[in-house]
Amino acid sequence: MASGNGSNFEAIVQAVQSGRLGADIPLLVVNNKNCGAHQRADRFGIHVEVVDHRGFPNREALDRQLVGLFQSHQVDVVVMAGWMRIVTDVLVDAFPERLVNIHPSLLPSFRGLDAVGQALQAGVSISGCTVHIVTADLDAGPILAQAAVPVLPADTHASLSGRVQKQEHVLLPATLQQNAHRWRQG
């Protein structure tokens, strides 16, 4: 699932193609037909479904649609790689311990939107990224892995975001591979 540029999605695809991640990607779900993730999926020949959240009366209805879509494609694990929507129990309960997110902070610090901006505002010296299991509580599920990134005195939002994202591209596929056994046994 992606909403934006799709660089984490591409990192997963490249990890699969190189053999670093033993997985199949049956589809990518985006909520914006013009997002970069959609274009990346087209380039890799991966099926894309556009599920525009604006066409649903509430989050639960959106998540019911997503669950049906994932089940129809026999998805075992759902990865939120820049899905900029809060999910509900409908999706969480359909994929217990199988809904994974990448977040651009060292959780539990700086949950929610603009974690990089929050870190800069707080003046921390270390930021980073976290791969975690999604639960009903925003960015509060069990942590699977983290990578630290130093915050430099001259950092801007763009420079820190860029360094954090480089770590995300390594951490997310590696964490999926390291935890694959838990989903095979489930």
Catalytic residue among 38, 73, 103, 169: 103
| Residue entry with tokens 């199949």 | 24
- Tokens for 170? 């390594």
- For the question of residue 73 being annotated catalytic, the response is no
As a whole number of angstroms, the distance between CA 147 and CA 101 comes to 14
Q: How far is residue 134's CA from residue 153's CA, in Å, rounded to a whole number?
A: 33
Q: Where are the strands (E) in 31-181, listed by range?
A: 48-50, 78-80, 99-103, 126-133, 143-150
Give the active site residues. 103
